[in-house]
Amino acid sequence: MSKLIVANWKMYLSPKDSVELFGAVAKKSKTVICSSFIALNQLSALAKKSGIGLGAQDCFWDNRGAYTGEVSPLDLKDLGCEYVIVGHSERRNYFKETDKMVGKKVKAALVAGLTPILCVGENESERKKGKASARVEEQLEYALDGLGKKLRAEQWIIIAYEPVWAIGTGNACDPETAVKMHQMIKEKIAKLISVKNVRVLYGGSVDDKNIASYLKNTEIDGALVGGASTKKDVFMSLLAVAAKF
């Protein structure tokens, strides 16, 4: 199975910039692009032609209701999205999303027919105290426990291990530590759900210079790339490296 590259463009690109970069990526590689909400409509038609997977950066846990400013997972599906990021550390930090809220979003995404890209990871304090594994296990339990009948045999769940202390800092997690965390995550997942369609990606200051050090490990199924995926030359170089694995 080839490695999966997911690009999280965050709020870096305008709709125009998104279309231009999407066009460049479409000529080079198959991947998943998670753009801002306001660019999704324009990218939807391009995604259908290119074969690139289209994803959103968040969704709400209900399809309809009085939730000002939120976006329905069902509407994302209707728009052409196949994926949605949930539980990113920036959502947990800036918008105070709890593990319980993230768990509700995972389930809502699956019901809507979207593949959730669940972000988990420990902060610097938790790692220094030796609580990294415990914290990630806790996040997985809230998000995955009790899925039961909500999962169909053909559905996938993607987990992105993103140590919070590495995101956007340029201080990427060393590959050996990342591999150990991926092994632990896969062991924990096997205890929580019965489906086999799970991929675990690494994220956190990934770029074209260090991507190979992660992808060469069989335990790491791909990467969730943030800022580096918004820079055309860097992202094209990164995708070229990833294509070798």
Contacts of residue 31, defined as CB under 8 A and 6 or more positions apart, other chains included, come to: 4, 5, 6, 7, 25, 52, 53, 239
Out of 42-51, 150-159, 192-201, 226-235, least confident range: 150-159
Out of 16-20, 170-174, 208-212, least confident range: 170-174
CA-wise closest residue to 114 among 192, 55, 159 = 55
Domains of the chain: 4-242 (3.20.20.70)
| pLDDT tens digits, one per residue of 56-85 | 999 999 999 999 999 999 999 999 999 999
Out of 32-46, 63-77, 137-151, 223-237, least confident range: 137-151
DSSP-derived letter for residue 150 is: G
Torsion angle of the four alpha carbons 233, 236, 241, 245, in this order, in degrees rounded to the nearest 10: 160
Q: What is the pLDDT of residue 153?
A: 66
| pLDDT tens digits, one per residue of 5-62 | 999 999 999 999 999 999 999 866 679 999 999 999 999 999 988 889 999 999 999 9
Arithmetic mean of pLDDT over the chain: 93
Mean pLDDT value of segment 238-244: 94
Q: What is the pLDDT of residue 192?
A: 86
Q: What is the pLDDT of residue 74?
A: 98
CA-wise closest residue to 85 among 120, 108, 118, 39 = 118
The residues assigned a catalytic role are 88, 162
